[in-house]
Amino acid sequence: MSSFKKRVPASQPKPPPATRINPHSAQLLVSTGVPALDDVLGGGLPVGGVLLIEQDRQTAYSNTLLSYFASQAIAAGHKLCIVNADRDVNLASQLPGWAGVSRSAPESGTSTGTETEQGGAGDKMQIAWRYQNLPRVDGREADTQSHSEPSAGPPSTAATDTPYCENFDLSMRIPQKVIDRASVDIVDGDAIARGMSGTENKSGDMYRLVLEKISALIDDGFSSLKPLPPNAERNILRIELRSLGSGFWRGSGPNAILAFLHGLRGLLRYSYAACVISFPAYLYEEAGVRLPIVRRIEHLCDAVIELESFEGSNATPSSIVAQQIKGEAASNSQEYHGFLHIHKLPRLNSLTASMGRLSILHTGGGSANNLAFRLRRKKFSIETYHLPIEGGVTERRVPAKEESNTPRLPSGAGCGSTPGRKDPLEF
C-alpha cells in the first residue's frame, strides 16, 4: 500500500446552489431562467456582474425576462431583491411557474417534469432538413446538462444538488405559499417614499437610497470579503432593478444614474450577487437619436442587450420586416416578435468574451448578430432569425384532386411515346 496521500483542504467551501463554473474564465455563473439567453451570454450571468436590458417602447417583453430571472431565484432558493419605483410588485400574478412547484417544495431542487414533457410533446419544429440535427437550446437540455455533464472543477466544487435552470411555463403561476416561503425583499414606490421622508437622505436622491439598501443586503451574508460563520453555506443574491431611469426616479443631478451604476458595480465585484436592470432607453432620445448618456450607461454595465419589437418600432427596418411576415404567417407559431441586439458581452476575469466558444446561437458580432425572439403561450425563446421562403410561399403546394384526375393531352411524339398514352420516361 502506497504511503502517498493526496492533499485536500480540510475545510473546502461548498459553492452556492444552482451555479456553474465557466471553464474559460473560472467565473461563477447563475442562470437567467431563459436557456437561450444563457447560451448567448456564454453559459449564464457571471456572479458579480450587471446585465442591462434596454426596453422597447409600448411593449413589455423585458418584464418577461425579469419574471424568468425572479422565478429562477425562487426555484434555486436564492435571495431575491426587486426594486420598482413605477408600480407595485405582485409576484403571484407575474412570475411563471415550473412543473415541480405543485408537487414538491422549491427547497428540494428537483422537478418531475411531467407537465413540461406533456406540454412540449406537440411543440415540434417544422424547419428545413439541414437544421434538424442542430442542438436545441431549451429548458430540457439545460436541465439535463446540469445533472449529467461534468463540471470544470473538482467533483467537490460542483453544485449538482439543485438544477442550474428550471423548465418554466408562462401558462402557470407560482403559488402564493411558495412565494411566502422564499426569501424575497421588495422595494416598491411606497417603500422608497417612506425612505425619502426620513432625515437620513435630505438631498432627495432615490438612487442613493436604493444603493444604501443594496449595500445593506450585501453586507448581510453575501459579501466575499467577510468570512462565513462556521457550518454556514454560501448563497446568491439576485437583484432586479425595473425601469431604472424612468420618470419616477429622482436624483440629485443629471448624472445621478451614472454615480449609482458606478457604486453598484463596485459593490457587486466583491459579493456573491448578480443584477439585472431594465432601462427605458427610448426616453433618452432627441429627434430619434440617443443621447450620449446612454452610451455611458452601457459602459458601466457588464452585458447589454436590446429588445426591438415589431409592434413598438416606427419607421425602422424591423417594421418593414414585420409587414412582410404578416398575413398568412401572422397565425403561424413560427412568427418572430422582434430582434435581439447584443451591444456588450460579459468579460469578467478575461480580456475576451468566452461566449464565442460556448454559444450555439451567437457566433460573433456584425452581420452574425441576427437573433430574434418570440413569445409563445408557454415560453420565451431566442432563435436565429431567417427570412421566409422567397416568393412568400410558407407551405408546400400540392395539386388539387381535379387537376390530378384530368387526362393529359399528348405533348407530341417522343422517344418511346405513343399518342393517347402516358410516356413511361416522363417523371
Domain tally for the chain? 1
- On whether residue 410 sits in a domain, the answer given is no
Instruction: Inform me whether the pLDDT recorded for 402 exceeds 70.
Output: no
- On whether residue 375 sits in a domain, the answer given is yes
- Residue 423: count of CB within 10 angstroms of its CB: 16
User: pLDDT at position 407, please?
Assistant: 55
User: pLDDT at position 252, please?
Assistant: 82
User: pLDDT at position 150, please?
Assistant: 34
- On whether residue 173 sits in a domain, the answer given is yes
Instruction: Inform me whether the pLDDT recorded for 136 exceeds 90.
Output: no
Mean pLDDT of all residues in 283-287: 89
pLDDT category of residue 387 using cuts at 50, 70 and 90: low
Are 79 and 132 spatial neighbours (Cβ–Cβ below 8 Å)?
no
pLDDT more than 90, % of the chain: 36
User: pLDDT at position 350, please?
Assistant: 75
The length of the chain, given as a count of residues: 427
How far lies 109's CA from each of 34, 73, 151, 335, 336, in Å? 17, 12, 18, 34, 33
CA distance 323 to 345: 31
Q: Are strands 79-84 and 184-187 parallel, antiparallel or unpaired?
A: parallel
- On whether residue 402 sits in a domain, the answer given is no
Are 278 and 244 spatial neighbours (Cβ–Cβ below 8 Å)?
yes
How far lies 255's CA from each of 197, 220, 234, 296, in Å? 22, 29, 35, 10
Mean pLDDT of all residues in 194-201: 67
Range with the poorest average pLDDT among 3-7, 121-125, 154-158: 154-158
Instruction: Inform me whether the pLDDT recorded for 20 exceeds 80.
Output: yes
Angle between helices 256-269 and 292-299 (to 10 degrees): 10
- Burial class of 48 by CB neighbour count within 10 A (0 to 12, 13 to 18, 19+): buried
* Per-residue pLDDT tens over the stretch 403-414: 555 555 555 555
- On whether residue 304 sits in a domain, the answer given is yes
CA distance 327 to 312: 18
Helical H runs in 270-338? 292-299, 317-325
Instruction: Inform me whether the pLDDT recorded for 153 exceeds 50.
Output: no
Task: Specify the residue for cell string 419589437.
Answer: 309
Are 175 and 99 spatial neighbours (Cβ–Cβ below 8 Å)?
no
Question: What cell does 411 get?
Answer: 405533348
* Per-residue pLDDT tens over the stretch 353-363: 666 566 777 65
Domain with residue 181: its CATH number is: 3.40.50.300
Residues forming beta bridges with residue 238, ordered by sequence position = 80, 274
Are 301 and 264 spatial neighbours (Cβ–Cβ below 8 Å)?
no
Q: What is the mean pLDDT of the chain?
A: 75
> At 257, which helix (H) or strand (E)?
helix 256-269
User: pLDDT at position 134, please?
Assistant: 57
User: pLDDT at position 405, please?
Assistant: 53
User: pLDDT at position 417, please?
Assistant: 56
CA distance 347 to 304: 12
DSSP 3-state helix, strand, coil percentages of the chain (rounded to 5)? 30, 20, 50
Instruction: Inform me whether the pLDDT recorded for 388 exceeds 70.
Output: no
- On whether residue 103 sits in a domain, the answer given is yes
* Per-residue pLDDT tens over the stretch 101-125: 653 444 434 443 434 343 444 445 5
CA distance 257 to 274: 18
User: pLDDT at position 386, please?
Assistant: 73
Q: Are strands 237-242 and 303-309 parallel, antiparallel or unpaired?
A: unpaired
Question: What cell does 178 get?
Answer: 411558495
- On whether residue 336 sits in a domain, the answer given is yes
CA distance 173 to 164: 20
DSSP for 46-105? ETT-EEEEE--TT--HHHHHHHHHHHHHHHHT-EEEEEESSS---GGGTSEEEGGGGTS-
DSSP for 133-169? TSPP-SHHHHHHHHHHSPPSS-GGG---SS-SS--EE
pLDDT category of residue 333 using cuts at 50, 70 and 90: very low
CA 169, 383, 131, 352 torsion-angle sign: negative
User: pLDDT at position 149, please?
Assistant: 36
Are 139 and 378 spatial neighbours (Cβ–Cβ below 8 Å)?
no
* Per-residue pLDDT tens over the stretch 305-319: 999 988 765 544 455
Instruction: Inform me whether the pLDDT recorded for 253 exceeds 60.
Output: yes
Residue 369 lies in domain: 19-114+134-389
Instruction: Inform me whether the pLDDT recorded for 395 exceeds 80.
Output: no
pLDDT category of residue 64 using cuts at 50, 70 and 90: very high
351/216: higher pLDDT: 216
Question: What cell does 336 get?
Answer: 418572430
Instruction: Inform me whether the pLDDT recorded for 92 exceeds 90.
Output: no
Instruction: Inform me whether the pLDDT recorded for 81 exceeds 60.
Output: yes
- On whether residue 10 sits in a domain, the answer given is no
